[in-house]
Amino acid sequence: MNKKFIIKTLGCKTNAIEGQIIADELFEMGYSEVKDYKSADIFVLNSCSVTSHSDSQCLYLLNRAKRENPLIKNILTGCVAQTLDLHKNFDTKNIDLILGNNEKLELKKYINKIFEDEKIKNAGDIFNIKEFNYKIVKNPYQTRPSIKIQEGCNNRCAYCIIPFARGNSRSNSIENVVSQINFLAQKGIKEVVLTGIHIGQWGLEWGLELVDLLCEIEKTNIIRYRLGSLYINEISAKMLEFLKNSEKFCPHFHLSLQSLCDKTLKNMNRNYCSSEAINIVNMLYNSFDEPFLGCDIIAGFPDESENDFKITFENLKSLPLSYIHAFPYSKRENTPAAKMKNQIKNSLKTKRVKLLNELCTIKHKEFLQRNKNKKHEILFERKSAKNGAYSAVTRNYIKVFIKDKRDDLRNTLKVVNMSEFSEIY
């Protein structure tokens, strides 16, 4: 009998890639995908554990699946599954199979046993995994698919549980990455996004740097590529010089800043200071023609005083940023930050996030205004069924919408003058 599955993936782009790999494996096993619990035989929850809220969300989804279909088999995988021993009071009664972040890429080894009413937990010690587990998405549905080039993280930021969910840094080989990119290019893909847990640590185990991989990507048949989130002090002078001269690189940076106050950065166990970060952001802006410069900022980290927040705010205000992704500090059990004194009230975190979001709106409008009369190459993506407008994206990550009666524009490129558009995003 043809079995059916439903899958829900939470969290980052890396998890999204792995969710597609899981789905591909289920298709190969003869499963078909459905959208509701009642008609599914199994429910795969590919979880995220970046905040404590994620635990509650996972429990809600697992319990809902069993409530709507008592016969469904629940599979919990991803970061919550890997760190389950660190999660207090996580009720596993409605889970039939638990797979860690490495084991989930080998789902077919375990899945049949759950239909024999055998509950299994298989989340090995992630720190024992030394090699990159190379799997690819064979038929990506995105116009700009992501390629996983790296796994894990060697840093130990005070607020973060992810190294315990993903292990130490492991790198995909140059040969694998290049092969995958050329495979996608042959299928007509014009742009790929290089992603991972900490891509700036790519190649460390071989004495290589990320720029060494980028040099090889430059030789592939892909037309455009962009980078996932980068640690600010891993953008070396060598890397910057290479990117400035690249014909394929999209000038779009998302920077993992988290704070621009030295005291807070020290408490976070970040290994750079605010002046270093400020210098690099300015250097990036001056090296490209209106690059997209986004960043992550945590508001209300333990012991962040009003003056500490003001320092971060004023430093951000002075920078040529395009976007600020601000979010409140979320207490994560079993991390050093959770035990720190002077935890900030939620109301104050909310107030600080609001101020950062208002600054973000100003910064983004200024960025769009500076691009208003420039020429940009756009990549057509989806066509809306509602109004027939295509969404498209520039190399520096501006989104536009174009109405066109043709049905064949998806995944094509065109140079346009941004003044043609009444609205850009």
Which residue would you say has higher pLDDT here, 2 or 212?
A: 212
Average pLDDT of 204-216? 97
Residues 308 and 271: beta-carbon distance below 8 Å: no
Residue 100 confidence (pLDDT) above 90: yes
* Sign for the pseudo-dihedral over CA of 189, 195, 200, 203: negative
Residue 84 is encoded by which pair of tokens? 């389950």
Provide Rg for the chain, Cα atoms: 22
Residue closest to 396 by CA, chosen among 320, 290, 321? 290
Q: Would you place residue 117 in the very low, low, confident or very high pLDDT band (cuts 50, 70, 90)?
A: low
Q: Is residue 223 classed exposed, middle or buried when 0-12, 13-18 and 19+ CB atoms within 10 A define those classes?
A: middle
Tell me what pLDDT residue 23 has.
95
pLDDT at 1 over 60: no
The three-state secondary structure class of 18 is: helix
Say what the pLDDT of residue 265 is. 98
The Cα 38–Cα 338 span in angstroms is: 39
Look up tokens 């998302």; give the residue. Answer: 254
pLDDT for the residue numbered 401: 92
The structure's pTM equals: 0.93
Whether the predicted pLDDT of 85 surpasses 70:
yes
- In this prediction, residue 156 carries a pLDDT of 96
Token pair 């940009």 is found at 376
> Tokens 């890997």 appear where?
82
Q: Which is nearest to 45 in space by CA: 2, 84, 3, 86?
A: 84
Which token pair is 96? 């039939």
Distance spanning both ends of the chain, measured CA to CA = 48
360-381 confidence digits (pLDDT tens): 999 999 999 999 999 999 999 9
Contact between 173 and 201 under an 8 Å Cβ cutoff? The reply is no
CA distance 102 to 7: 18
CA 326 to chain centre: 15
Instruction: State whether the Cα torsion 160-166-170-176 is positive or negative.
Output: negative
What pLDDT score was predicted for residue 386? 72
Beta strands in 248-341 (DSSP E): 252-258, 292-299, 323-328
pLDDT digits (tens, 9 = 90+) for 225-234: 999 999 998 9
- Does residue 87 surpass a pLDDT of 90? no
pLDDT digits (tens, 9 = 90+) for 235-291: 999 999 999 999 999 999 999 999 999 999 999 999 999 999 999 999 999 999 999
CA distance 281 to 304: 23
**Do residues 295 and 285 touch, judged by C-beta distance below 8 A?**
no
Q: How high is the mean pLDDT of the chain?
A: 94
What percentage of residues in the chain have a pLDDT greater than 70? 99
* pLDDT tens track for 132-156: 999 999 888 899 999 999 999 999 9
Distance CA 135, CA 387 (A): 38
pLDDT at 76 over 70: yes
Of how many residues is the chain composed? 425
pLDDT of 396 strictly over 90: yes
Confidence of residue 165 (pLDDT cuts 50, 70, 90): very high
H or E element that contains 68: helix 53-68
Residue 165: which residues within 8 A CB-CB, separation 6 or more? 49, 78, 79, 82, 83, 101, 126
DSSP state of 376: E
Of 382 and 14, more confident: 14
How big, in percent rounded to 5, are the helix, strand and coil portions of the chain? 40, 20, 40
In this structure, are residues 103 and 110 in contact, taking their beta carbons and an 8 Å threshold? yes
Which run of H or E residues covers position 4?
Answer: strand 4-9
Give me the pLDDT at residue 118, please.
64
φ/ψ of residue 310, rounded to 5:
-60, -40
- pLDDT at 143 (0 to 100): 94
Distance of CA 112 to the CA centre of its chain: 31
What is residue 9's three-state secondary structure?
strand
CB-CB neighbours of 284 under 10 Å: 22
Is 132 within 8 Å of 171 (Cβ atoms)?
yes
User: What does the pLDDT look like over 21-75, one tens digit per residue?
Assistant: 999 999 999 999 999 999 999 999 999 988 877 888 999 999 999 999 999 999 9
Find out whether 126 and 103 touch, Cβ atoms under 8 Å. no
